[in-house]
Amino acid sequence: MQRKARRKLLKRQQSIWQNKNAWFWFLLPSFLGVSVFVLIPFLDVIRRSFLTAVTEEWAGLHNYQIIFANQAFQLAVKNTVRFTLVCLPLLIGSGLFLSVQLSRLKEMQLIKSLFLFPLAMPAATVVLIWKMFFSRQGFLNGWMVGAGILREGQPMDYMGTGIAFWVLVFSYIWKNLGYTMVLWLAGIFSVSADLTEASRVDGATERQCFWHVIFPNLKGSLYTITILSFLNSFKVFREAYLVAGSYPHESMYLLQHLFNNWFVNLELDKMAAAAVCAGTVLFAVILILQRLWDHEDM
C-alpha cells in the first residue's frame, strides 16, 4: 500500500511539473527562430562594431567616434528624430479622433474593412501615386496652375525642396492611419456599454463620457499603438528611396538612407556601430514607455 501511495504521489508530482513547464515547449520553437535570425546576428553586429571592416582588427570605440563625427549621420539622426516626433502625435491623435467618430456610425463594420487597404498596397504602387501627385508634371502642380496659384511653365519640384519632408510625413500617415483606427476601434468597443450608459444617465455629455469613461480604459491600446507607430516610423525608407534615390533632399535624408549607402560602399564597420546605437535607442525608448505605462497603472 505504501508503494502504491508513493507511486501515485510521484505521478502527481511529475504531472504537476510537466504542466508548469509546458510553456517552455510552446515557446522553444519561436525562441530558437528569434535566436537564429535576430539575437545571434545582432550579437555579431555588436562584435563587428568594435572591429575594422576588412582586416577585422580590434578598433575599440574608433568606429563610434567616426560615426558621431560624421555629418551625414548627424543629419540622418536629426531628420529621423524630427520625423518621429512629428508623425507619432499626428498619427495617434488623428486615428483616435476618426475612430471615435466612426464608432458612432451604424454601418461602421462595412467601412472598417477598407481601413487596411493602404497597408496592402505594394511600395511600387505607393511610389507611382507619389510621382503622379508630386512630380513637376503631377496632378498637384496641374491643379495649382489651373487655380492660378502657380504660373504655367513654372512647376514646383516638391521632392527637391524642403516640402519633401512633409510629403514623406503625409505618406506615412496615409499608409498607417487605417490600422491605427482599427486598433483604436477595438479598444473603444472593448469598453463596457454599461459604463457609458450609466455616465449618460448621470448627466454626462458625450465629451465628458469619452474623457472620463472611455479614454481611461484605452491605456492598453494607446501603449500598443504608440509602440507600433514608433517602430513603423523606421520603415518609410522604401518609398523615399524609390522616389528620390540614395541621396534625396536633405530634409528627408533618414538613417535608412545612410545605412543603405554604407552597405553599398561596404563600410560595414560604420554600419555596425550605427546599428548598435539605433538598436540601443529603440530598446531604451520601449523600456521607458513600458515604465511610464506601468507607473500609471499603479
pLDDT tens for residues 3-26?
Answer: 665 666 566 656 655 566 677 777
Give the DSSP per-residue string, 159-192.
GGSTHHHHHHHHHHHHHHHHHHHHHHHHHHHHS-
pLDDT confidence of residue 3: 61
Bin 236: left if φ > 0, else alpha if -120 < ψ < 50, else beta: alpha
Paired residues of 112 in beta bridges? none
* Torsion sign across C-alpha atoms 245, 246, 251, 256: positive
Where do we find the cell 577585422?
Answer: 56
What integer is the mean pLDDT of 88-115? 80
3-class DSSP assignment, residue 50:
coil
| Share of residues in the chain with pLDDT > 70 (%) | 87
Residue whose entry in the numeric block shows the C-alpha cell 509602440 = 227
Please state the separation of Cα 273 from the chain's center in Å: 22
Rounded mean pLDDT of 49-66? 87
Q: What is the pLDDT of residue 5?
A: 58
Query: Which is nearest to 285 in space by CA: 216, 277, 252, 61?
Result: 277
Is the per-residue pLDDT at 239 higher than 80? no
Q: What is the mean pLDDT of the chain?
A: 81
Are 169 and 87 within 8 A, CB to CB?
yes
Strand partners, 51: 58
Question: Measured on CA atoms in the order 122, 127, 128, 132, is the torsion positive or negative?
Answer: positive
Residues 286 and 227: beta-carbon distance below 8 Å: yes
The residue-averaged pLDDT of 26-53 equals: 88
| pLDDT value of position 136 | 75
Q: Which DSSP category does 35 fall into?
A: I
The DSSP element (H or E) to which 91 belongs, if any, is helix 71-102
Supply the pTM of this predicted model: 0.80
Q: Which residues are within 8 A (CB) of 68 and not within 5 positions of it... i.e. 6 or more apart?
A: 74
Give residue 176's pLDDT band: very low, low, confident or very high (50, 70, 90).
confident
**Can you say whether the dihedral through the CA atoms of 121, 225, 91, 172 is positive or negative?**
negative
- Average pLDDT (59-66) is 89
Task: Name, in order, each residue with C-beta under 8 angstroms of 217's C-beta and a sequence gap of 6 or more.
Answer: 187, 190, 191, 195
Q: Taking 90 as the threshold, does the pLDDT of residue 151 lie above it? A: no
Long-range CB contacts (< 8 A, 24+ apart) of 134-139? 134/158, 134/159, 134/167, 135/159
User: Per mean pLDDT, which range of 91-105, 199-213, 246-260 is the poorest?
Assistant: 199-213
* Least confident window among 69-73, 75-79, 211-215: 211-215
| Band of pLDDT at residue 89, cut at 50, 70 and 90 | very high
Q: Which three cell numbers stand for residue 68?
A: 558621431
- Split at pLDDT 50, 70, 90, the class of 295 is low
Q: In the prediction, which pLDDT does 92 show?
A: 92
